[in-house]
Amino acid sequence: DGGITQSPKYLFRKEGQNVTLSCEQNLNHDAMYWYRQDPGQGLRLIYYSQIVNDFQKGDIAEGYSVSREKKESFPLTVTSAQKNPTAFYLCASSVNRGRRDTEAFFGQGTRLTVV
Amino acid sequence: GEDVEQSLFLSVREGDSSVINCTYTDSSSTYLYWYKQEPGAGLQLLTYIFSNMDMKQDQRLTVLLNKKDKHLSLRIADTQTGDSAIYFCASAGGTSYGKLTFGQGTILTVHP
């Protein structure tokens, strides 16, 4: 059964700690994305990767880091430098067909709460 | 950069039609998408339209695109309580090559 798996579903972090959110896909997609969702603000792009070992900053990359060592995996680290990390985080992937279409498939999300 | 705008709330009665509107700024956007999000879940792709089309119909869903005004709408016929969710408009292509730009989402509430 192909899809995108995010883990954990809920995550609690103390202030000052780094935390890593997992995203794995078995769709053989080249591109992967991380979005942050806050109420009333839609989805904002944190980082994206079009190919293994390469990634680009999105609109709100400060305080976050990523790696793309394998095609299937795109973990997101929320560092202590992120001033307001409490949010719902969504991972997505898409086929990179070389055209300008980007039909993205989403995971079920991770809700991060700083306590 | 690219901007996508939606109204935040829409309330309809069960059985009526719902129309959710979206405007975008990048005239070179090539694909426009509608996603649905149920509480606590990820986004589910509902439908999409290519920029050279004016209309696309898919069962109860009708997408209208006015490229001149950069306006996109999603009509849901015979709206049901199960359609209550957040609906996101997104654009791709143009200056947003390789990534999607989302609107804020429209919260659709369907009353019995």
Facing residue for B98 by CB, picked from A41, A50, A111 = A50
Joined tokens for residue A10? 């809920």
Distance from CA of A80 to the nearest CA of B (A): 25
How far apart CA A8 and CA A112 sit, in angstroms, is 9
What are the chain A neighbours of B7 within 8 Å (beta carbons)? none
Q: Looking at chain A, which residue has its C-alpha nearest residue B51?
A: A101
> How does pLDDT run along chain A (115 residues), one tens digit per residue?
679 999 999 999 998 899 999 999 999 998 899 999 998 778 999 999 988 999 999 999 999 999 999 999 999 999 998 989 999 999 999 876 555 556 788 999 999 999 8
pLDDT of residue A71: 96
Mean per-residue pLDDT, B75-95: 90
Q: Give the torsion sign (CA, A83, B24, A88, A64).
A: negative
Q: Looking at chain B, which residue has its C-alpha nearest residue A32?
A: B99
| The pLDDT of residue B9 is above 70 | yes
Subunit contact A103:B88, Cβ cutoff 8 A: no
Query: Is residue A115 within a helix (H) or strand (E), and if so which, with residue range?
Result: none
Which residue reads 């979005």 in tokens? A35
Subunit contact A101:B93, Cβ cutoff 8 A: yes
pLDDT of residue A97: 57
What are the chain A neighbours of B6 within 8 Å (beta carbons)? 42
Joined tokens for residue B51? 């920029």
- Write the secondary structure of chain B as one string of H (helix), E (strand) and C (coil): CCCEEECCEEEEECCCCEEEEEEECCCCCCEEEEEEECCCCCEEEEEEEECCCCEEEECCEEEEEECCCCEEEEEECCCCHHHCEEEEEEEEECCEEEEEEECCCEEEEEEC
pLDDT of residue B39: 87
How far apart CA B93 and CA B109 sit, in angstroms, is 31
A91-102: per-residue pLDDT in tens?
A: 999 876 555 556
Q: Mark residue A90 as left, alpha or beta (left: phi above 0; alpha: psi -120 to 50; beta: remaining).
A: beta
Distance from CA of A7 to the nearest CA of B (A): 13
